[in-house]
Amino acid sequence: MIERREFGSTGHDSTVTIFGAASLWEVTQEEANNTLEVLLEYGVNHIDTAASYGDSELRIGPWMEEYRDRFFLATKTEGRTYEEAKKEIRNSLKRLRVDQVDLLQFHNLIQPDEWETVFGEDGALKAAVEAKEEGLVRFLGITGHSLKVPKMHMKSLQEYDFDSVLLPYNYPLMQNKEYASDFKELLETCREKGVAVQTIKSLAMRRWHEGEQNRATWYKPLEDQKYVDRAVSWVLGNSDLFLNTVGDIDLLPKVLDAASRYEGRPTDDEMKNMVKEREMEALWPE
């Protein structure tokens, strides 16, 4: 089984690997149900989806009718105004077939103008806080992509006491000195505030070259089990972090298998050799 850690200050002990349900974007219900069996086999108890993940919420809905008490359930809204977020939150509840989600996150909140809207008088934060007061959501979080994420998350945490953050983290990316410094500052702040830190892109190898994409992920992922083991173990080697699984259901078992056998963080030399052998590149160049 997979290790569990305290998910920030929520009181929930989440598996260190959180199911990234973007992998259910355009799968059949049968494929989704087979994925649920994999989650149950490994004891994964935390699902992370989003309103904008295609059919993901719809595929998870039938699971919740039988297994709601087995999972900490998180979704995301891309709504930036009060009305947009209010509508999307309620629509997500219907699609997920639940009365409440455990965590509602603002999806990819990194653009300054969108940030101003969300935190404005008639912004999405107002709708999210209302939903929390109504018992529709229990906790609130923020997510983001790109190199500017750590700094934007810091700004958001100064404005509101969010319960979780989510951002990219892998070995090649952390060779960017500025990103690494910003990430470490954010991590320290989250540690002090009791904020859960979720990470994405653990298996990212590089961007796809034209005509070669054969996975559901928007980047080319590591696939060989030995490299998956190394990448997953490197993330899990930081005890403050959670790893959101890869956005491809066929690679999910490899990630969970790696996590179930985790014994320690690979050395820097081992990671450097993997980068060289797989010709890995950061998804966001400096």
- More reliable by pLDDT, 4 or 285: 4
State the pairing for strand pair 17-20/46-48: parallel
Q: What is the pLDDT of residue 285?
A: 79
Q: Which two tokens stand for residue 240?
A: 């403050």
How far apart are alpha carbons 180 and 169 in whole angstroms?
A: 9
Q: What is the pLDDT of residue 105?
A: 98
The burial of 149, by beta-carbon neighbours within 10 Å (0-12 exposed, 13-18 middle, 19 or more buried), is given as: buried
Over range 126-148, report the average pLDDT.
Answer: 97
pLDDT tens digits, residue range 241-282? 999 999 999 999 999 999 999 999 999 999 999 999 999 998
Backbone angles phi, psi at 114, to 5 degrees: -70, -40
Helix axes 225-236, 268-277, angle to 10 degrees: 140
pLDDT tens digits, residue range 208-245? 999 999 999 999 999 999 999 999 999 999 999 999 99
Q: Are 65 and 98 in contact (CB under 8 A)?
A: no
Q: Which two tokens stand for residue 153?
A: 């998350």
pLDDT tens digits, residue range 1-41? 899 999 999 999 999 999 999 999 999 999 999 999 999 99
pLDDT tens digits, residue range 43-94? 999 999 999 999 999 999 999 999 999 999 999 999 999 999 999 999 999 9
For residue 45, the SS3 value is coil
- Using the predicted structure, report yes or no on whether residue 97 has a pLDDT greater than 80: yes
How far apart are alpha carbons 233 and 278 in whole angstroms?
A: 17
The answer regarding whether domain 4-277 maps to CATH 3.30.1490.20 reads no
